[in-house]
Amino acid sequence: MLVFSTAKLVFLSVPKTGSTAYQASLVPLAAIAVTTPPELKHAPVFRYNRFFRPMIERFIAPDVDVLAVMREPISWLGSWYRYRQRPAMAGTANSTQDLSFDDFVTAYCMGEQPGFARVGAQSKFLEPQRNGTCVTHLFRYEDQADLIRFLEQRLGTTIEIKHLNASPARDLELSAKTEARLRRKFSSDFALWEGIGENGQYAPLPARRKPVSKT
């Protein structure tokens, strides 16, 4: 997560959307750079709202914009699958080295996900909070030019992004049955990504309400 005080902008780091490359380029411009541990570097909207927003609104500005990047859902899962195939994961419970991508996505769609498929969901990461805290500018990972143009205008500088942490290439084919199941179960992710427009404009999904307990 990066905080730019003069630009009144917070850049949330959604996992597997190139956040490490952007941090490497933009850290010198940031007033606050949270690069570790992963739980804080990749703080979702709900964690930003609870722990960071009060401080930022008090000491920087009450009207900061929140920026994030979202990746096409199947491509996003493909990145997780490839990341967990790297040699360092061999022999661990989260390794995907002996699985096909179809197997990985099938496990991801299970009600009780095994450890190797427990990677969260982008729609959950970006979920608006009931107090109104939400991402105000959401860009597609696949549209880097639009994102860089926005950042250059907002930060008043030219930006050069170098691709970092690239995972090894792998076959990412899905059967029609598996893809249909994924699209049905995680329809919120597909709807959110498909609704992203120019200059980061999009329609946030409604905040989820806590279930009312019955007595």
Give pLDDT tens digits for 72-121.
999 999 999 999 999 999 989 899 999 999 999 999 999 999 999 999 99
pLDDT score of 213 more than 80: no
Cross-strand partners of 139: 69
Cross-strand partners of 200: none
Tell me the average pLDDT across 122-143: 96
User: By residue range, what is the domain housing residue 89?
Assistant: 2-200
| CATH code: domain of residue 62 | 3.40.50
204 touches 119 (CB < 8 A)? no
Q: Is residue 31 part of a domain?
A: yes
Q: Is residue 90 part of a domain?
A: yes
pLDDT score of 214 more than 50: no
Q: Is residue 180 part of a domain?
A: yes
Going by pLDDT thresholds of 50, 70 and 90, the confidence category of residue 166 is: low
| pTM (predicted TM-score) | 0.91
* Residue 212: Cβ within 10 Å count: 6
Q: Is residue 116 part of a domain?
A: yes
Helix (H) or strand (E) holding 79: helix 73-83
Residue 114 has a pLDDT of 96
Per DSSP, the three-state class of 16 is coil
Per the structure, how many domains does the chain have?
A: 1
Tell me the average pLDDT across 151-163: 91
